[in-house]
Amino acid sequence: MQKTPAECTTMADVRAEIDRLDRALMVLFAERWGYIVRAAEIKRPLKLKADIPARVSEVKENARRNAVDLGLEPEFYEQLWAQLIEQAIAHEKRLLGEDER
């Protein structure tokens, strides 16, 4: 049964909840990755590049703003999202054949 942080009374409780959340985050990352693949499929016939700097900036700013809104450290989450974006662009480039040019 899921517990809130306040309901956790042992380290085992805390660890179980962290493990549960880590799995849930991975499920969300997998879902996000599906959209990255779909973006490449949509970009191909439109002859769009994998890297669209305006969108990269927008996603990083969204991460920063969301972190602030949730009381999290914005620089850390912006950097984390920058890594997600970098990986996604590299994957899209492979899918679009941009890494072969």
- CB neighbour class for 50 (10 Å; exposed up to 12, middle 13-18, buried from 19): buried
The reply, when asked if residue 15 is annotated as ligand binding, is: yes
Does the annotation place 44 within a ligand binding site? no
CA torsion angle 29 75 4 7 (round to 10): 140
Which residues define the annotated binding site? 15, 32, 43, 92
Query: Binding site for substrate, residues?
Result: 15, 32, 43, 92
